[in-house]
Amino acid sequence: MIAFLLQHRTRPALFSRAWLRTWLKRLWNLPALLGYALQSLRWRLKGARIASSSVISHLTVHGDASNLRIGDCCCLGITRMQTHERIEIGNCVVINDGVRLITGSHDIHSPTYDHVFSPIIIEDHAWIATDAMILKGVRIGRGAVVAAAAVVTRDVRPFTVVGGNPAREIGTRRIESFDYIPSSWFGPVMAWVGRNPRLQAHAELEDAPPSSASPLPAR
């Protein structure tokens, strides 16, 4: 994260009022910024693959952390994940507070109530809103939006909006390209890179390869 902030930081004129305000904000937000960095480091040490440009507010993982991959420039609020199978999150994904990603369940038809597990894939630029739940075996397509408190039990097509329990398609996202960096929306990060920096201004991020998750088995 530190390298990302230094590379993409705003550069006001030296010793100007803007320079002074910027550095006061950076120093004031330093403890929170270090907290984000330690949050990511904690899970990397347990085997998760988390891009340095992504920001995590608070993450709880139950299962094998090495099954978790988070791409570039993602923004995760207070999130809970069950990683008994892999969870792959693409680039520039937004996951709001209270979201749960659950890769396991039980076979209700099994006399021994056997566990069943399937991966969860969230493609680039998807948005998972507050308190949504994504269940095992689901792929969220590129640019899709999952509404608040939705329970997603099946795949979501790219650029569609789903909501409800169980989630159903309720709309379409009228957009074809993206020009925002979700990880910049946290205040401590904004103090470094400015308010709502444009993705197209950072070619190396815009050109980042899309998430390369393998297709899920037919359901």
Give the pLDDT score at 216.
40
User: In this model, does residue 60 exceed pLDDT 50?
Assistant: yes
**Mean pLDDT in residue range 32-40:** 90
Residue 210 has pLDDT above 90, yes or no: no
Annotated catalytic, 106? yes
State the catalytic residue, choosing from 58, 62, 106, 115: 106
The residue-averaged pLDDT of 87-102 equals: 97
Is the pLDDT at 214 greater than 60, yes or no?
no
Question: Band of the pLDDT at 94, cuts 50, 70, 90?
Answer: very high
Confidence of residue 1 (pLDDT cuts 50, 70, 90): confident
Q: What is the pTM of this model?
A: 0.87
Superfamily of domain 2-206: Hexapeptide repeat proteins (2.160.10.10)
CB 118 within 8 A of CB 136: yes
What's the pLDDT at 195? Answer: 77
- Is pLDDT of 207 > 60? no
Q: What is the mean pLDDT of residues 174-184?
A: 87
pLDDT, average across residues 145-170: 97
pLDDT at residue 5 in the model: 85
